[in-house]
A and B are shown apart, each in its own frame.
Chain A
Amino acid sequence: AQSVTQLDSQVPVFEEAPVELRCNYSSSVSVYLFWYVQYPNQGLQLLLKYLSGSTLVESINGFEAEFNKSQTSFHLRKPSVHISDTAEYFCAVKGSSGSARQLTFGSGTQLTVLP
């Protein structure tokens, strides 16, 4: 079984400032890690994922996350945020073995970018 902890329920930040959304997980097996973004009244969109290989993964809109196995973390970062980045962000994990393993989600972090 896996669990995900997103310690920050809300993160307000000014436009063009850097941001880090924290995600820690626990699992007894190897895992895949994901960040999803949800805009108001919409479903989830995959932002980035770590399956294997390089521990630093990037999205097309400037976000990046680094898989840190020793600290069991997968924090999401962006060096300069925009107003349009305001959304709810969910970290998720699932076991890497077997097939169609279900995702376990964190409680979410509301990122609010202020002008």
Chain B
Amino acid sequence: DTAVSQTPKYLVTQMGNDKSIKCEQNLGHDTMYWYKQDSKKFLKIMFSYNNKELIINETVPNRFSPKSPDKAHLNLHINSLELGDSAVYFCASSLRQGGYEQYFGPGTRLTVT
């Protein structure tokens, strides 16, 4: 009974490719997030959606495009992958926007070669 699930768990791809990561939560939460955790372990917010509406859009290259088809799903599409995109990408959800208790998915480890 996974609360927040992500696919794939591992993604190895070459520079210049386009890839997507999918996230689903079954907690009935209104708000979902994408975070990037780099090799120095900083966890940085990228995007957040509240009930399908984009509410946080940090300084992220426009090669990254989130999509929320419904409030239980938040996907991340990345165009023209670069070496610097290699990181762990975490999806998370919270009951409502601004909620401090965030439930994280297991992460997607992206390696760009």
User: Is B a genuine binding partner of A?
Assistant: no
Residues of B within 8 A of A (CB): none
Residues of A within 8 A of B (CB): none
